[in-house]
């Protein structure tokens, strides 16, 4: 074997990302706290270089590398560009927040970039070993990030809970992978799919392995009943870290599920679809009802995340149109979450952490523009037209109707109506309640400009969603066609 056999060219985004990451890691050792902004700008440059490398090697065809362990296709390339942009936005939003919180350190940037490398590997995995490697790289970085505030008991507790439950989820995934290997004799998704076609049926060992894998996927998505870590992590972690946990890893988890369930175990779709429907229904019910009872806005966003994951799981049961809907929904969720966490970071200062819903009281009086951006986000999450969140839910419900799941479509509409209550409550607090402080909400031009563009995308891609949706459909079709 020689280097040309590995086809390193298509993995250039990860190579550039990791190379630049090690440069940032080494450079940060000689940078003092007073000059930490150098690490900040180097990290932003790293993301720009990785995105540039992805653009340079962009290919409409699906290509394998590393002897079939790695795949580059339209779906993975789209997901990576979204994740690079997401982490870039988080770094910009988090800088002033981290500075007043005492966590404006190199560890935040290097661990975030390691997590990004993990998600990049996950979305390009064509083999169980590659998928597991990316998943563990992501998880280990997040464990440390959540506990970044070493003197915070809440952060330490959240990190420990996530570590214990994450280890359990990883163990279940490994157990499921071992059973799939025992039944098929392979760990490559394409070989597993071919072997299950030859079998003509699903032996009990393969079905048992599928159960463990679905459980692990549900844990990574934060679906009920494997959602226990979500509210604790959102509340206990610094808001800048919670923003990272709640955005980029979600689209990685969606593609992770797609690679395994569709790319490797599609012949068992009748089995895993039933499991996903149960998980989705439970997530929509528990997520929405629990969110209604929350007074802590970060816990409310956590439980709303659970309900959003319910929609994504529903989409997975609706064939190819559903897969594209799930991808679009993940994109919409990331854009919405970025704005929500960005505003929360702006409202936090050196004296007070914005955590309670009442902390947003009178935001319209303090800064009408940021109140408007948060209003767009809450309306979008509630599924109110013409915003991106409405079209995301519409595509999922339409996909349900397309495969004859009428009762699931009706159920999803009812759950959306229930969910609108707690989103509109935030709007009521911002516009109709008196502010507890007259302190104005201030930010630098980069944060204000990027946050405004971020929120504007909710409106633009809600009114004109076809370009993004067609991109998602084309990406999914290519991935399905390569099976």
The pLDDT tens digits of the residues spanning 444-476 come to 888 889 999 999 999 999 888 888 888 888 888
Instruction: Please name the residues in contact with 32: beta carbons below 8 A apart, sequence gap of 6 or more.
Output: none
CA distance 269 to 273: 6
- The three-state DSSP-derived secondary structure of 81-141 is HHHHHHHHHHHHHHHHHHHHHCCCCHHHHHHHHHHHHHHHHHHCECEHHHHHHHHHHHHHH
pLDDT value, residue 109: 93
How would residue 22 be classed by pLDDT, with cut points 50, 70 and 90?
Answer: very high
Instruction: Give pLDDT, residue 465.
Output: 87
Confidence of residue 123 (pLDDT cuts 50, 70, 90): very high
Mean pLDDT of the chain: 88
Tokens of 164: 């214990």
What percent of the chain has a predicted confidence (pLDDT) above 90? 45
Which tokens hold the place of 180?
């799939």
pLDDT for 362 equals: 84
What percentage of the chain carries pLDDT values higher than 70? Answer: 97
3-class DSSP assignment, residue 444:
coil
Tens digits of per-residue pLDDT, 254-299?
999 998 888 888 888 888 889 999 999 999 999 999 999 988 999 9
Tens digit of each residue's pLDDT (9 = 90 or more) over 369-415:
999 999 999 999 999 988 999 999 999 999 999 888 899 999 999 99
What are the pLDDT digits (tens) for 225-258? 888 888 999 988 899 999 999 898 999 999 999 9
pLDDT of residue 482: 62
C-alpha to C-alpha distances, 297 to 249, 292, 359, nearest whole angstrom: 21, 11, 9
Chain centroid to CA 352: how far?
A: 27
Q: Are 140 and 190 in contact (CB under 8 A)?
A: no
Read off the pLDDT of each residue in 22-50 and give the average, rounded to a whole number.
Answer: 89
Asked if 71 and 108 touch (Cβ cutoff 8 Å), the reply is no
| Three-state SS sequence of 48-93 | HHHHHHHHHCCCCCCEEECCCCEEECHHHHHHHHHHHHHHHHHHHH
Statement: residue 1 has pLDDT above 70: no
Q: For 197-211, what is the mean pLDDT? A: 78
- Cα angle 228-138-245, degrees, rounded to a multiple of 5: 50
Higher pLDDT, 204 or 218: 218
Please enumerate in sequence order all residues whose Cβ is within 8 A of that of 232, keeping only pairs 6 or more positions apart, or say none. 157, 158, 161, 162
Phi, psi of 64 (to 5 degrees): -100, 150
Q: What is the pLDDT of residues 81-122, one digit of tens each?
A: 999 999 999 999 999 888 888 888 889 999 999 999 999 999
Give the residue from 31, 24, 25, 28 showing the smallest Cα distance to 46: 24
Distance CA 479, CA 483 (A): 7
310, 287 in Cβ contact below 8 A? yes
**Token pair in block for residue 378:** 């809450």
Q: Where are the domains of the chain?
A: 3-481
Residue in this structure with the two tokens 């502010």, named with its chain if needed: 435
Predicted pLDDT at 200: 57
Window from 41-45, 194-198, 329-333, 416-420 with minimum mean pLDDT: 194-198
Confidence of residue 53 (pLDDT cuts 50, 70, 90): very high
Dist. CA 123–CA 76, nearest whole Å: 5
pLDDT for residue 47: 95
pLDDT category of residue 6 using cuts at 50, 70 and 90: low
Cis peptide bond upstream of 89, omega within 30: no
Q: 10 Å Cβ neighbour count for 446?
A: 12
Q: What are the distances in angstroms from CA 222 to CA 34, 139, 283?
A: 38, 14, 9
Angle at 355 between CA 354 and CA 357, to 5 degrees: 100
Task: Work out the angle between the directed axes of helices 319-347 and 297-316 (0-180°, nearest 10).
Answer: 170
């Amino acid at each position: 074997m020689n280097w040309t056999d590995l086809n390193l060219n298509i993995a250039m985004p990860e190579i550039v990302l990791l190379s630049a990451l090690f440069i940032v890691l080494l450079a940060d050792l000689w940078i003092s706290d007073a000059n930490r902004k150098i690490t900040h700008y180097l990290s932003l440059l790293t993301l720009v270089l990785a995105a540039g490398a992805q653009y340079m090697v962009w290919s409409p065809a699906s290509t394998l590398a590393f002897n079939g362990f790695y795949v580059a296709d339209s779906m993975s390339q789209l997901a990576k560009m979204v994740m690079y942009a997401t982490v870039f936005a988080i770094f910009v939003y988090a800088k002033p927040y981290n500075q007043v919180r005492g966590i404006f350190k190199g560890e935040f940037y290097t661990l975030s970039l390691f997590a990004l490398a993990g998600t990049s590997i996950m979305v390009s995995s064509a083999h169980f070993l590659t998928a597991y490697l990316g998943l563990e790289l992501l998880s280990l970085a997040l464990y440390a990030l959540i506990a970044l505030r070493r003197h915070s008991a809440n952060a330490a507790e959240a990190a420990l809970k996530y570590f214990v439950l994450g280890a359990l989820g990883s163990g279940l995934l490994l157990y499921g992978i071992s059973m799939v290997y025992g039944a098929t004799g392979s760990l490559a998704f394409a070989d597993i799919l071919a072997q299950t076609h030859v079998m003509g049926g699903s032996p009990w060992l393969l079905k048992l392995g599928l159960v463990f894998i679905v459980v692990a996927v549900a844990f990574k998505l934060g679906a009920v009943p494997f959602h226990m870590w979500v509210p604790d992590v959102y509340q206990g972690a610094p808001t800048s870290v919670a923003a990272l946990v709640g955005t980029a890893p979600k689209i990685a988890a969606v593609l992770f599920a797609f690679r395994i369930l569709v790319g490797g175990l599609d012949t068992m779709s009748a089995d895993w679809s039933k499991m996903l429907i149960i998980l989705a229904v439970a997530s929509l019910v528990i997520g929405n009802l629990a969110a209604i009872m929350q007074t802590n806005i970060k816990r409310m966003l956590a439980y709303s995340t659970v309900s959003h994951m319910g929609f994504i799981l529903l989409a997975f049961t609706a064939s190819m149109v559903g897969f594209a809907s799930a991808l679009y929904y993940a994109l919409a969720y990331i854009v919405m979450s970025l704005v929500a966490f960005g505003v929360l970071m702006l409202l936090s200062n050196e004296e007070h952490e914005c955590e309670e819903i009442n902390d947003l009281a009178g935001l319209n009086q303090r800064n009408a523009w940021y109140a408007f951006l948060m209003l767009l986000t809450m309306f979008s999450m509630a599924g109110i037209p013409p915003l991106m969140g409405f079209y995301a839910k519409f595509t999922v419900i339409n996909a349900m109707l397309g495969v004859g799941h009428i009762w699931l479509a009706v159920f999803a509409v009812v759950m959306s109506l229930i969910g609108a209550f707690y989103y509109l409550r935030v709007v009521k607090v911002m516009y109709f309640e008196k502010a507890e402080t007259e302190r104005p909400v201030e930010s630098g031009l980069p944060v204000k400009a990027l946050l405004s563009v971020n929120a504007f995308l909710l409106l633009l891609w809600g009114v004109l969603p076809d370009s993004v949706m067609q991109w998602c459909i084309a990406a999914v079709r290519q991935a399905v066609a390569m099976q």
